[in-house]
Chains A and B, each alone.
Chain A
Amino acid sequence: MKHESLGIIEPQRACCEHPLALESGGTLERYDLVYETYGNLNDDKSNAILICHALSSDHHAAGYRDESEKSVGWWDSLIGPGKPIDTNRFFVVCNNNLGGCGGSTGPSSTNPETDKPFGPDFPMVTVKDWVKSQVFLSDLLGIECWAAIVGGSLGGMQVLEWSTHFPGRLQHAVVIASAAKLTAQNIGFNDVARQAIRTDPDFHEGNYYQHGVTPERGLRIARMLGHITYLSDNAMAQRFGRNLRQKEQLDYQYNPEFEVESYLRYQGEQFVNRFDANTYLLMTKALDYFNPARNFNDDLAAALSTATADFMIVSFSSDWRFAPERSHEIVRALHTNDLNTSYAEIESDHGHDSFLLEIPDYFKIMHSYMNRIYDQLSNTPKGYVDKDVGKDDGK
């Protein structure tokens, strides 16, 4: 099935002149958010869907940046005309997170107080702060209530934050390959990545912009490590095995000899060219800090008790960084709160990266769920559970 493309998308910029009080204690006096939109907002502004991006992506979720094939958005397979998140039906918004390097205010932006890049002076931002900034964007766009907020991985954490802190502002929460908190193993991986960057001699305590360098080696290693963990053992075995790179014999040198080595180096190289090291540090910290149950004696159900949205939770069988068990925890907390919840565990060999891939069972379920959302825009279908009734009957 060939779908039409969204074509080239022009990013837009929202300027917020109101100070944002951050969870870490600091304040951002003003900030910009860069975002893209796809499709048209309907008259009653009820068909808007917010897409929340993950660690290394940005506001460019769908369509193309320019004429080149390579400039395609990171979730273009899912978002577009006739696709599961159908832009003929929905008005879709995706913004670059605060602290990002896609154009929103972040460490590489100019600090108005010093006229130099923020660098290490950019305050620590968290999932909570991102959601607050997205609320500002919603107000600016005149969207009182999102038909759905959709996110994968770190994006899913933003969806959870929205659903509990601004429950009246979304109808549906779609949380894909995510977790309500990272495991020790995950935090460990993130810290190895951070140490790789911070110990790079070109890091200059985060002030590398002024030195005209970037901590390339550190960022490259961080990305290589991340990339390994986003794939599954099977996926790597199938794709690379022990294949040698354009040769038959081992040459007993430290040059990349196995295909997997040159692939990872290539991935690292590509990443260094498009991503800021300080942003990578911030994003991984935001991942580590997220834990809505922390203030509720580690009781996730209590933390989610303010949510009223309907939830669709999706996990992938071979995802070991955001394992199905993490999704089970979310699902359990949701049904403890008697919330309308559906959960799908998709068979896939592609590890955490699965959420970015066009896997038939996954897309079929997304299609069905988005259909359900669309049907509810105009009328409440008969077969659907009224969540208020469910609440009253709750234990």
Chain B
Amino acid sequence: MIKTLAKMMVNKVNTTNLSRFDLQIISDWVTPNSKVLDLGCGNGSLLKHLQNTKNTTGYGLELNPEMIAHCIDNGVNVLQTNLDKGLTHFDSGSFDFVILSLTLQAMRDPKKLLEEMLRVGTRGIVTFPNFAYWRNRLQIALNGKMPVSKELPHKWYNTPNIHLCTIQDFQKLCEELGFVIESSIAVHSSGKSNIGLTAMPNLFGEIALCRFKKK
């Protein structure tokens, strides 16, 4: 349900308690000893996890000063950066992986950021809430309104999530940008998988994860 998604996004913004399955999938996709750039790294828990399990190096980018202190506490390199201003300060081809976890939908220019990701890195990993998840569809279809939850009382006009998309939308944009999706998976926020998810990810997937590179 959008409620759960919203909750996850709140978590991302406030504490970045990335759920275990999310961490695990991203971690499985990242090759050992690689250089990683984590865009919107929150408190640095993903980078810390990758450093511990995959011996990665690299940096996290984050805007919130409180999160900067948490990253430092977590032993993660963090650079205070506004992602909407682009990644111009990074040289091309600096990283093996550029990760954008549950942040794409809050970017002013997601298309440009995706292009930037594959300028500075060889591979991109994006996770985003799938807006075509059936419960979202149901809420809009039945109520005729943008879904709003008690936990995240954002209305359509004040939500930070200004560019929500569906799995199909994302696939189409990747094609347009000349990106190849190497791996993708749709999951339920509980982390559980089922036949519906595998057969129709755009309908049953709550969170989408994609790993992509240039053609």
In the complex, A369→B52 CA distance in Å? 20
State A343–B65 Cα separation when bound (angstroms): 10
Hey, which chain A residues are within 8 Å of B65, CB to CB? 344, 346-347, 361, 364-365
Enumerate chain A residues within 8 angstroms of B79, measured Cβ to Cβ: 331, 335, 341-343
For B71, list chain A residues within 8 Å (CB).
Answer: 342
Q: B176 an interface residue at 8 Å Cβ cutoff? A: no
A336 to B75, CA, bound (A): 20
The yes or no answer to A165 lying at the interface (CB within 8 A) is no
Which residues does chain B contribute within 8 Å of A389, judged by CB atoms? 33, 55, 57
Contacting pair A344 B33 (CB below 8 A): no
A234 located at the interface, meaning its Cβ lies under 8 Å from any Cβ of chain B in the complex: no
For B37, give the chain A residue with the smallest CB separation. Answer: A335
Q: Does B93 contact A (CB under 8 A)?
A: yes
The contact of B51 among A336, A345, A364, A384, by CB within 8 Å, is: A384
Contact B72 A383 (CB under 8 A): no
A365 touching B69 in the complex, CB below 8 Å, given contacts A344-B80, A372-B75, A393-B34: yes
- In the bound complex, residues from chain B placing their C-beta under 8 Å from that of A372 are 72-73, 75
Of A344, A371, A395, which contacts B73 at CB under 8 A? A371
Tell me whether A341 and B73 are in contact (CB under 8 A).
no
Chain B contacts for A385, CB-based, 8 A: 51, 57-58, 75, 77
Quick check: is A368 within 8 A (CB to CB) of the other chain? yes
Which range holds the interface residue count of chain B? Answer: 20 to 34
Residue B11 CB within 8 A of the other chain: no
Expressed in whole angstroms, the Cα–Cα distance for A321 and B55 within the complex equals 40
Interface of B is mostly: mixed
B117 interface residue, CB < 8 Å from A?
A: no
Closest to A361 in B: B65
B-contact bits for A356-367, CB 8 A (1 contact / 0 none): 000001001101
- Chain B residues positioned under 8 Å from A384 (CB to CB): 51, 75
Known A331-B79, A343-B80, A344-B80; contact A369-B55, beta-carbon cutoff 8 A: no
Enumerate chain A residues within 8 angstroms of B70, measured Cβ to Cβ: 368
Query: For chain A, which range describes its interface: under 10, 10 to 19, 20 to 34, or 35 or more residues?
Result: 20 to 34
Contact, CB under 8 Å: B75 / A383: yes
Q: Does B68 contact A (CB under 8 A)?
A: yes
A179 CB, nearest partner CB in chain B, Å: 16
CA distance A347 to B73 in the complex (A): 20
User: Which residues of B are found within 8 Å of A13, using beta-carbon distances?
Assistant: none
A142 within 8 A of B: no
CA distance A384 to B75 in the complex (A): 5
- Give residues of chain B (71-117) contacting chain A, Cβ–Cβ below 8 Å: 71-81, 89-91, 93-94, 96
Q: A341-B59, A364-B69 are in contact. Are A381 and B80 (CB under 8 A)?
A: no
Q: Is the CB of B78 within 8 A of A343?
A: yes
How many angstroms from the CA of A344 to the CA of B79 in the assembled complex? 6
**B7 at interface, CB cutoff 8 A:** no
Q: How far is the CB of B27 from chain A (nearest CB, A)?
A: 14
Q: Residues of B at under 8 Å CB distance from A?
A: 33-35, 48, 51-52, 55, 57-59, 65-66, 68-81, 89-91, 93-94, 96
A-B contact pairs, 24 of them (CB 8 A): A331-B79, A335-B90, A335-B94, A343-B78, A347-B65, A364-B66, A364-B69, A365-B69, A368-B70, A368-B72, A368-B73, A372-B75, A383-B52, A383-B74, A385-B57, A385-B75, A385-B77, A386-B55, A389-B57, A390-B57, A393-B33, A393-B34, A393-B35, A395-B94
Closest 8 CB pairs of A and B: A383-B75, A368-B72, A390-B57, A384-B75, A361-B65, A343-B79, A383-B48, A368-B69
